[in-house]
Amino acid sequence: MMFNLNIICLYMNSAPEKKNKLSEQIKQALIKDINEGVFKIGEKIPTEPELMSRFAVGRSSIREAIKSLTESHILTVRQGYGTIVNRIEEQPIEHRLRNSDFAEINYVRTMLEKEIVSLAALNRSEQDIIDMEQSLEKRRLAISQEIYEACIDADIEFHMTIARASGNKVLADLYLSFTTIIRDFFSRREPGGITKFALSHHLHEKLAGDIKAKSLSNALSTIATILDNNH
C-alpha cells in the first residue's frame, strides 16, 4: 500500500518544529494503517529501513513517530524481534481517544458542549458569570501577548467554567477528562493557531453573554459556530 506523502519532503530542511510535524504525519499514516487493518493486532510493522524508503524520510523522523506510538501504547518494541501492534483494549482510554479520528472526536465534543451550554444557560450563578469573564480576560491577554500555550490554557479554562455552570458534576467531570483530547488537538494545530484564537474571541465573549442572559437558543447557536470554526 503506497501513501501520497510527497508533501512531507518539503519539511526535510525546515526548522525543528516542522520536522516534528513530519514525524506527526508519519504517525497518523501508521495509525490509519492500523485502523484499516493493514497492520494487524499482534503483527509486526515494517522495519525502520522499509519505513524510511516508504515515506522517503530519514531515520530520526521514523524513530520519533514510533516512539510516540510506543508511548501511547499503540505499539510495543521487542528487542531482537520487531515492533508489534498492541490490542486496542490494552491502550489507555485517553490514548485511544487521542488517536481517534478528529471528525469522531469533534462529534462527541459537540454533543458534550451543546448539553453543557444548555444547562449552563438555565443554571448559571452570578459567580459562574464572574468566573467566565475572568477566564475570558486571561484568554484575551494571552492572545495579545501571543503566548500559544497560555491561549490553550485560557480557552480550556473558559469552557470548563461553562461545564461547572451546568450544575451537573458528572457532566463537568466528563468534560474535564475530555480536555486532554482538546489540548492535544490544539498542540497539533498548524502555525497561525493564535490567529484562530483571536478570530474566535468575540464568539466566546458572545457565548458568555448569551449564558449570562439565559438565552438558550442564542447560546446553542454561538457554540455551534465556535465548534464549526475548529475544523
How buried is 133 (Cβ within 10 angstroms: 0-12 exposed, 13-18 middle, 19+ buried)?
Answer: middle
Lowest-confidence pick of 32-41, 47-56, 58-67, 117-126 = 32-41
What gap in Å lies between CA 101 and CA 75, rounded to an integer? 18
Q: What is the mean pLDDT of residues 90-113?
A: 69
Stretch(es) of the chain classified as CATH 1.20.120.530: 100-228
What gap in Å lies between CA 68 and CA 211, rounded to an integer? 40
The three cell numbers locating residue 10: 518539503
Looking at residue 220, its pLDDT comes to: 96
Residues 3-32 pLDDT 10s: 333 323 333 344 444 445 788 899 989 988
Mean pLDDT estimate for the chain: 83
Smallest CA-to-CA distance from 74 within 46, 111, 34, 101 is with: 34
> Cell 494571552 identifies what position?
142
What gap in Å lies between CA 55 and CA 51, rounded to an integer? 6
The three cell numbers locating residue 165: 455552570
- State which fold the 6-90 domain adopts: Arc Repressor Mutant, subunit A (1.10.10)
The total of other beta-carbon atoms located within 10 Å of residue 179's CB is 17
pLDDT band at 103 (very low <50, low <70, confident <90, very high): confident
**pLDDT at 58 > cutoff 80:** yes
Looking at residue 15, its pLDDT comes to: 42
Residues 165-222 pLDDT 10s: 999 999 999 898 888 778 877 776 555 578 889 999 999 999 999 999 999 999 999 9
- The answer, as to whether pTM is greater than 0.95, is no
Stronger pLDDT, 146 or 73, i.e. the higher one:
146
Lowest-confidence pick of 89-93, 120-124, 126-130, 190-194 = 89-93
Stronger pLDDT, 8 or 142, i.e. the higher one:
142
What gap in Å lies between CA 209 and CA 222, rounded to an integer? 10
- State which fold the 100-228 domain adopts: Four Helix Bundle (Hemerythrin (Met), subunit A) (1.20.120)
Stretch(es) of the chain classified as CATH 1.10.10.10: 6-90
Q: CB–CB of 182/109 below 8 Å?
A: yes
Q: What is the mean pLDDT of residues 136-146?
A: 95
Q: CB–CB of 169/87 below 8 Å?
A: no
pLDDT band at 90 (very low <50, low <70, confident <90, very high): very low
CA angle 195, 224, 173 (to 5 degrees): 90
